[in-house]
């Protein structure tokens, strides 16, 4: 699961290096940390060989993809330091200690951070539940945590990533039988440690995805994007920082003007950008080299649920042999298997057409659609670069 992820492996290597730095005498008493080649050639008993040899297994990433992920993390050392400290001291929305703890208030407090995803805010809020719990047994703590998770999921029943993030958090934090052999306070400390680690991994996901995707963006290319995805913005921002020369086509559609928002952000980075209506996708597709989209959720089939219009863009791109890349954090992997567009919970958004609509006219207000896996080329995740057919295997590993 998460302990197999590149972030966790890199954090463990960093901890080993820190311990050596704090105890210089131990350099002569212990062997040096294994190299990247050693970690790939010599599987460890507590780490699946499948994950250590992912590059050879999928043949889509180079063998140094973990090193690339490390470079992505090291690119912003100040950010990592702040995220770790902030992850351990969650902001409280209340005033003094007299106010009873509320997981929804904690969640809303984290949501005030503009760059923090809803699912990650929920993860930090659940971590705060463990820290503030007055339970005296593991059973009481698990029941309290389950109630808090259900409260967060009911806060927005249409948010698939929020539900998936809460489910993965519960599975990750409580998945070991070792807790049965410890006293309660030691077990609770372990739960808090795992919760904070889970939050840090989730927070670093975008940066890792941005680095892993750089080999696929080349000078002179034209990228079509749809909707406002913070992870796609991070991918393009990293490419611009790497001095790559490219231009971006942003589709603008209803109801929330996401294309306009993304084009404004790209303009601030001095990236050449063109804004076009989403009905002009086929008209401009012959100028496009690749399509980059985010995802509200990645489902078991390897398809994605995303902003309305993603499906038709993927259809046009597929018919014209253009690759469609998806950038999505692994906490968006959901145990869903939609069979068609109507086989998922509706997410409705009001649409303002700017003119009065007759009462007898029905307006389609669905805000997202489902794109089947056969129209997607690759998925860039913090677990690596995956083909759609591998997603079901990853879901099994995540929820084991």
Q: Rounded CA gap, 245 and 222, in Å?
A: 9
**Do you find a cis peptide bond into 255, omega within 30 degrees of 0?**
yes
| Closest alpha carbon to 209 in 383, 395, 61, 28 | 383
Name the 3-class secondary structure at 385.
strand
Query: Of these residues, 80, 167, 296, 369, which one is catalytic?
Result: 296
Distance CA 377, CA 60 (A): 11
Beta-sheet pairing, 324-327 with 378-381 = parallel
Distance CA 231, CA 265 (A): 13
Written as six digits, the tokens of 316 are 């046009």
For residue 55, CA distances in Å to 21, 223, 242 come to 31, 25, 23
Instruction: Collapse the DSSP code of 243 into the 3-class scheme (helix H, G, I; strand E, B; otherwise coil) and give the result.
Output: coil
Closest CA to 301 of 343, 335, 325, 331: 335
Burial group, residue 383, by CB count within 10 angstroms (0-12, 13-18, 19+) = buried
DSSP annotation of 157 reads T
- Number of other CB atoms surrounding residue 144 within 10 Å: 17
Distances (CA, A) of 329 to 5, 151, 161, 222: 12, 23, 10, 24
Told to judge if 296 belongs to the known catalytic residues of this protein, a careful annotator would answer yes
Which residue blocks in 89-183 are alpha helix, DSSP H?
103-111, 118-132, 138-155, 160-173
Tokens 């306070």, located at residue? 185
The catalytic residue positions are 296
């Amino acid at each position: 699961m998460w302990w197999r992820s590149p972030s966790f492996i890199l954090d463990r290597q960093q901890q080993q290096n820190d311990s050596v730095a704090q105890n210089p005498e131990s350099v002569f008493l212990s062997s040096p940390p294994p190299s990247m080649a050693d970690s790939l050639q010599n599987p460890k008993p507590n780490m699946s060989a499948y994950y250590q040899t992912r590059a050879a297994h999928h043949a889509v990433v180079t063998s140094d993809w973990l090193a690339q992920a490390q470079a992505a993390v090291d690119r912003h050392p100040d950010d990592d330091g702040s995220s770790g400290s902030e992850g351990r001291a969650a902001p409280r929305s209340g005033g003094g200690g007299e106010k009873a703890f509320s997981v929804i208030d904690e969640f809303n407090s984290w949501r005030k951070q503009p760059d923090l995803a809803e699912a990650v805010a929920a993860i930090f809020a659940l971590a705060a539940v463990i820290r503030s719990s007055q339970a005296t047994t593991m059973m009481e703590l698990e029941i309290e945590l389950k109630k808090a998770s259900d409260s967060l999921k009911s806060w927005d029943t249409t948010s698939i990533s929020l539900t998936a993030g809460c489910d993965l958090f519960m599975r990750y934090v409580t998945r070991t039988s070792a807790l049965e052999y410890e006293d309660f306070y030691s077990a609770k400390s372990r739960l808090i440690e795992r919760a904070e680690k889970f939050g840090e991994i989730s927070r670093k996901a975008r940066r890792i995805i941005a680095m892993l995707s750089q080999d696929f963006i080349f000078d002179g290319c034209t990228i079509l994007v749809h909707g406002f995805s913070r992870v796609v913005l991070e991918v393009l921002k990293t490419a611009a920082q790497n001095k790559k020369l490219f231009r971006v086509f942003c589709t603008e559609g209803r109801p929330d003007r996401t294309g306009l928002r993304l084009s404004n952000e790209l303009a601030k980075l001095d990236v050449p950008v063109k804004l076009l209506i989403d009905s002009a996708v086929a008209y401009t597709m012959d100028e496009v080299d690749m399509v980059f989209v985010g995802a509200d959720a990645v489902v078991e089939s390897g398809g994605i649920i995303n902003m309305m219009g993603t499906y038709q863009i993927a259809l046009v791109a597929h018919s014209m042999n253009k690759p469609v890349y998806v950038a999505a954090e692994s906490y968006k992997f959901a145990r869903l298997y939609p069979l068609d567009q109507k086989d998922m919970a509706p997410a409705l958004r009001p649409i303002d057409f700017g003119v009065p609509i007759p009462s007898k006219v029905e307006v389609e207000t669905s805000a997202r659609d489902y794109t089947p896996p056969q129209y997607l080329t690759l998925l860039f995740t913090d677990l690596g670069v995956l083909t759609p057919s591998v997603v079901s295997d990853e879901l099994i590993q995540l929820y084991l």
